């Protein structure tokens, strides 16, 4: 049976596609250290169909919002192509701990993954990395905090988090890249899948971001 809390997080459902409002704190895939993940709920999300639904992309564990899953093998393949070719349209909302350098702009900075036995892995801005592009615009302000809409044009690991840090305005709660303590203030707000027919979804503001966004005049 699909639990009520998970059923309430289905933003779109048809015979081929599911779009979920993934909660912050839930990993999409099992990690090396174990712990709960969305994979634990795939049998319930199957809802009697032949195949387990499969996520077509990732969201960081602490990022909430729109996540697309395919419910059939052709749908899974079609979604994988869309994301691989960068043809999906995604927007994110974030609360930054400092204002960005302008009201809107573009960050183009290549990202490279480095790892060590002592510190594990993390991403760095490095010309030797993979190209990454993020468009951003301010949507609200409150003193030191700034709310922005982020549009990634590439899909690199930790791209939005690292690009905002690179601009000198880390996302609030991103202790990994200078955003301080607390919960990560990053929401995968909208997702548009250019299929036939087109699918689109908008995720609600999660409770842990509601107050900060409201102070910035965003609701």
CATH for 189: 3.30.2350.10
For residue range 125-167, list pLDDT tens digits in order: 999 999 999 999 999 999 879 999 999 999 999 999 999 999 9
Q: How many distinct structural domains can be found in the chain? A: 1
Q: Residue 110 above 80 pLDDT?
A: yes
Residue 38: alpha-carbon gap to chain centroid? 14
Q: Is 137 in contact with 169 (CB distance < 8 Å)?
A: no
Q: Is 195 in contact with 60 (CB distance < 8 Å)?
A: no
**What is the rounded average pLDDT for all residues in the chain?**
94
Q: 4, 40, 60, 142: which is the annotated catalytic residue?
A: 60
What is the band of 28 on the pLDDT scale with cuts at 50, 70, 90? very high
Q: Residue 87 above 80 pLDDT?
A: yes
Q: What is the pLDDT of residue 3?
A: 87
| Preceding omega of 197 cis (within 30 degrees of 0) | yes
Catalytic-residue membership of 60: yes
CA distances from 167 to 14, 102, 161 (A): 40, 10, 10
Q: What is the pLDDT of residue 50?
A: 86
What is the band of 122 on the pLDDT scale with cuts at 50, 70, 90? confident
Beta carbons within 10 angstroms of residue 164's beta carbon: 28
Q: Residue 174 above 90 pLDDT?
A: yes
């Amino acid at each position: 049976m699909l639990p009520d809390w998970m059923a309430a997080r289905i933003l779109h459902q048809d015979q081929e596609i599911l779009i979920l409002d993934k909660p912050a704190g839930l990993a999409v895939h099992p990690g090396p250290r174990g712990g709960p993940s969305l994979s634990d709920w795939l049998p319930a999300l199957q809802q009697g169909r032949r195949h387990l639904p499969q996520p077509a992309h990732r969201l960081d564990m602490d990022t909430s919002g729109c996540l697309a899953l395919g419910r059939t093998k052709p749908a899974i393949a079609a979604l994988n192509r869309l994301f691989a070719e960068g043809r999906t349209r995604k927007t994110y909302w974030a609360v930054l701990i400092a204002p960005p350098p302008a009201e809107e702009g573009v960050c183009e900075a290549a990202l490279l993954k480095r790892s060590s036995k002592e510190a594990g892995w993390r991403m760095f801005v490095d010309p030797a990395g993979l190209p990454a592009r993020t468009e951003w615009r301010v949507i609200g302000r409150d003193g030191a905090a700034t709310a922005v809409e982020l549009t990634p044009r590439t899909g690199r690991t930790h791209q939005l988090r690292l690009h905002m840090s690179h601009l000198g305005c880390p996302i609030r709660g991103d202790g990994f890249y200078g955003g301080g303590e607390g919960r990560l203030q990053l929401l995968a707000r909208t997702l548009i899948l250019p299929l036939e027919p087109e699918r689109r979804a908008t995720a609600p503001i999660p409770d842990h971001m509601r107050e900060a966004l409201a102070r910035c005049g965003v609701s």
